[in-house]
Amino acid sequence: MNSVKTVRELRAAVARARGEGKRIAFVPTMGNLHEGHVALVEKAGQRADFVVASIFVNPLQFGPNEDLAKYPRTLAADQDKLVAAGCHLLFHPDVDEMYPHGQAGQTRVGVPGVSEGLCGASRPGHFEGVATVVTKLFNMVQPDLAVFGEKDFQQLAVIRTLVRDLNMPIQIVGEPTVRAEDGLALSSRNGYLSTEQRAQAPALYRTLNELAEAIRGGNRDFAALMANGTASLAAAGFRPDYLEIREASSLRLAQADDRQLVILGAAFMGNTRLIDNLAFEL
Ligand code: PAF
């Protein structure tokens, strides 16, 4: 695997692969890679001949009181995992390479609609930061396809909308969430949990499953279900941020006759904010 830090090197390496007639897949990440990221890279390798990954902890998508400074940077271990997963090229730029003219005056990309509510409400500016960096990375790499995890369900919806609305010729592929045996969705932030918190954390996914069971069983009182689910999270030691039942493709609030649903939850375990979701069809 070739590792590069500048846009110029990245473009040269991708151009060489293109010159050899290769189809290019891209997996953007913020590093601290786990099995979930490995699954994204492997999926990319199944769909293309040349896999590019990026590691960049994007300051634009962190709020002032979020974990930008303490976000784990584990480049050497990440490189080993990428090699084992079949990645061909790693792009790991510095902040100055990504934002050479500073962050304050940086052109921003906003995706109205799907980026509103849920994490968009709890983390103002987050999706604008994500959409901006992903647009820049897409323009730098110019891949044929890009793979994102379904764990960040709203982020995936934002990126699908961005690509559609800005006519980007990039296929967006979603990869199912990878979970620990007890159901907890793998996340770089799980590493912040104490042993006790880690033992309590699977209650988030359990609660999503309980709500989905109730809906499958015919319950359409979404408001009551959300209230009960929120109470279950609190009883399990979480400080709930949101728990919502939405229509899966538009992310608008679910109505009784919707058939494609997603339940999305975000909750704090101590200072660690965990998110998860469960999409299903009736
Ligand atoms: O999901 C992530 O890790 C980040 O939001 C992304 C897509 C790499 C953009 O910084």
Hey, how many other C-beta atoms are within 10 angstroms of the C-beta on 25? 29
pLDDT tens profile 96-113: 999 999 999 999 999 999
Of 37, 88, 92, 126, catalytic: 37
How high is the mean pLDDT of the chain?
Answer: 98
In degrees and rounded to multiples of 5, residue 279 shows phi and psi of -100, 140
Question: Ligand 1 pocket: which of 130, 148, 151, 186 to mutate (most atoms <8 Å of CB)?
Answer: 130
Tell whether the torsion through CA atoms of 234, 118, 190 and 261 is positive or negative. Answer: positive
Ligand 1: list residues with CB < 6 Å: 28-30, 58, 61, 130, 133-134, 152, 155
Q: CB under 8 Å to 39, separation ≥6 — which residues?
A: 149, 175, 176, 178
pLDDT tens profile 267-281: 999 999 999 999 999
**β partners of residue 266:** 242, 275
Burial 54-65 (b: 16+ CB within 10 A, else e): bbbbbbbbbeee
Domains of the chain: 2-175 (3.40.50.620), 188-281 (3.30.1300.10)
> Which protein residue has the closest C-alpha to ligand 1 atom 6?
29
Residues in the chain: 282
Q: Which atom of ligand 1 is nearest to the CA of 29?
A: 8
**How far is the C-alpha of 257 from the C-alpha of 8, rounded, in Å?**
51
**How far is the C-alpha of 68 from the C-alpha of 57, rounded, in Å?**
8
SS3 25: strand
Q: Is 126 a known active-site residue?
A: no
One DSSP character per residue, 109-143 reads ---TTTTSSTHHHHSTTHHHHHHHHHHHHHHHH--
pLDDT tens profile 122-167: 999 999 999 999 999 999 999 999 999 999 999 999 999 999 999 9
Contacts from 192-197 at CB under 8 Å and sequence distance 24+?
Answer: 192/67, 192/270, 192/271, 192/272, 193/269, 193/270, 193/272, 194/270, 197/237, 197/269, 197/270, 197/272
Ranges in the chain, pLDDT < 50: none
